Amino acid sequence: MEDDDGSKSVFKSPEAGSPAGVSDRKKYSAVAPPSGQQQQNSNNSNNLTRRRTGSSNTPSSRPLAPTRIIYRETLGASSESDLDLPFWQRTWFIGLLLVMALSFFGLAIFLFLTLDSDYTSSPVYAATSEGVEITYGSVLKLMHEKTRFRLHSHDVPYGSGSGQQSVTGFPNVDDANSYWIVRPMPETSAKQGDSIKSGSIIRLQHMKTRKWLHSHLHASPISGNLEVSCFGDDGNSDTGDYWRLEIEGSGKAWRQDQRIRLKHVDTSGYLHSHDKKYSRIAGGQQEVCGVMEKRADNVWLAVEGVYLPVSGSK
């Protein structure tokens, strides 16, 4: 017999001993095989299920979240290990900066204490432009206008003449032995910070050796003019250390941009230099001497220096 859906039904006779009221018919349906389209869909579904199941187990398709978690945990472990370092290993750079700061502070104190006492009681400033007024107590270099050499001295005596400490002209700018302190005569009322007028008698003290620019009638080693030397000390000075300031032009007070001459009081010789140079003891340095004539080549200029400001009372 054929049912409505196309399947065939087979009826069987009731078996002996079957309970009453129960239908003896048993239906056996022979289901038709699926069509080609249905079978293909089923296979695709099964394959898709297998691929998803298989792909979920492959390591290459795992999400990136665990990698980020592991990275954070690694950083956390490193930070904790840093905290376990000794205190000095975590703060060594700060300690180094502290040691450097203390070293510079100590050096500043040392330089302050070793400066000349004249500069601890009043402010000073370096001359950075022309026109700065020069006062007593200022430290400066004098440059010979014609040769551009600086007035210089060092702890080397002359091999002839007086045998006192030699004075020369030095070619280089950056030399500490070319600094001179401008002082008044000891018996005057002039004091540190006072202006210096043309015609004033001054003394020049060599800053490094503390001796005074000096002259006398001994002959200079090269040219045979008046010898110029350094002599004495802080407590030992005489008239051989006196020089009269002559300012060229109309200026009344000594300023850095003014041309000057220095005339020795005892001998009346002008401080002079020329291009004749020493060859042995002071090789490359030129002779400084005194000449009796007032000439164009015995002019000097105040150049580098540390100048004290003019005091309130003039």
Q: Which structural domains are found in the chain, ordered by start?
A: 135-306 (2.80.10.50)
pTM assigned to the model: 0.61
The mean of the pLDDT values for the chain is 76
For residue 303, the tally of other CB atoms under 10 A from its CB is: 16
pLDDT score of 113: 61
Residue (of 160, 110, 118) closest to 278 by Cα position: 160
Question: How many other C-beta atoms lie within 10 A of the C-beta of residue 243?
Answer: 22
Residue 85's pLDDT band, with cuts at 50, 70 and 90, is low
Quick: pLDDT tens for 264-288.
999 999 999 999 998 876 778 999 9
Mean pLDDT of 245-249: 94
Quote the CA–CA distance of 229 and 244 in Å, as a whole number.
17
Answer yes or no: is pLDDT of 307 > 50.
Answer: yes
pLDDT at 98: 85
Q: Is 93 helix (H, G, I), strand (E, B) or coil?
A: helix
pLDDT at 153: 96
Q: What pLDDT, on the 0 to 100 scale, is given for residue 88?
A: 63
Strand ranges in 41-164 using DSSP code E only, listed in sequence order = 125-126, 139-144, 150-157
**What integer pLDDT is reported at residue 58 of this predicted model?**
46
Q: Does the pLDDT at position 258 exceed 90?
A: yes
Cβ 270 vs Cβ 292: under 8 Å: yes
The stretch 80-94 carries a mean pLDDT of 65
pLDDT 10s digits, 12-68: 444 444 444 444 444 444 444 445 444 444 454 444 444 444 444 444 445 444 544
Query: How high is the pLDDT of residue 114?
Result: 56
Is 60 exceeded by the pLDDT of residue 71?
no
Q: Which of 267, 253, 236, 251 is nearest to 200 (CA)?
A: 253
**Mean pLDDT of the 106-112 span:** 75
